[in-house]
Amino acid sequence: MRVVDQFREIESRLPADWADVRLVLTVEDPTQGERAAALLGPLGPGRSGNRVQLTVPRAGGRVEQLRRLLARVDRDRIRGELELVTFSESSPARPAAEQRASWPPLEEAWMTAVAALPDDWSDVYAEVELASSAQLDRGALLLAPVNPARPDRGLAFRFRVARSFGYGASTEMTRRCLARLDEEEITGRLSILRALSDTKAVATQGPVWYVGGKAT
């Protein structure tokens, strides 16, 4: 069974108010353990040999992200067994600040996310969600070189990255801007919203995504 289908089966057995899950993917071929961990990189997994461990919160779109990453594992023909280790249920005593404290540094999150992309990726649409509204102005200034845009609501900045040509910040500039946020202890969560591979620009500056009816 595909690993993404194994997760759907696990999810169907969870209680309605589950908050997060701890999973272990045991890869059949030990030589593919590192690749599996890289593909699941945006979720911050740990690896020991052919066992990849990760904890996934239900909130913040992480479950849908997990499904997408597991589908990539399947596309790479990496076979394995996904097991549920434990889960926790929602509790009003668990503040959102506690979850934010577990977010990895933004530069590290960027490097991990890039490692999980296909080898021929060319364009990315990314988002950085800040932990506090008090950091919005400073965050916007530090991210200015990547030309960030603000969604209609929330504490997020969205921007494009072009690997070799076209419209978007370079990978090096993106990494440096995220490192600047880390240096000033501005906490955030990085997500790759969309990615394209091997695009060819013909009389254009690169691909255009339409999000909510607007070109990005």
The DSSP secondary structure of the chain, one letter per residue, reads --HHHHHHHHHHTS-TTEEEEEEEEEESSGGGHHHHHHHTGGG--EEETTEEEEEEESTTTHHHHHHHHHHHHHHTT--EEEEEEEEEE--TTS-HHHHHTTPPPHHHHHHHHHHHS-TTEEEEEEEEEES-GGGHHHHHHHTGGG--B--SSSSEEEEEEESSSSSSB-HHHHHHHHHHHHHTT--EEEEEEEEEES---SSSSS---EETTEE-
Task: Please check whether the domain covering 3-89 is classified as CATH 3.30.70.
Answer: yes
Residues of the chain with confidence (pLDDT) below 70? 90-101, 152-153, 200-216
Report field, pTM of the whole predicted structure over 0.75: no
Q: For a pLDDT cut of 70, what percent of the chain falls above it?
A: 86
Cβ neighbors of 202 (< 8 A, separation 6 or more) are: none
pLDDT at 203: 53
CA distance 196 to 62: 20
Task: Tell me whether domains 3-89 and 100-207 share a fold.
Answer: yes
What pLDDT does 94 receive?
47
Distance, in Å, from the CA atom of 215 to the CA atom of 103, rounded to the nearest integer, reads 29
What's residue 91's pLDDT? Answer: 55
Residue closest to 161 by CA, chosen among 131, 186, 124, 128: 124
- Of the candidate CATH numbers 3.30.1460, 3.40.50, 3.30.950, 3.30.70, the domain formed by 100-207 belongs to 3.30.70
Q: Residue ranges per domain, the chain?
A: 3-89, 100-207
- The reported pLDDT for the residue numbered 98 is 52
Task: Retrieve residue 32's tokens.
Answer: 């593919």
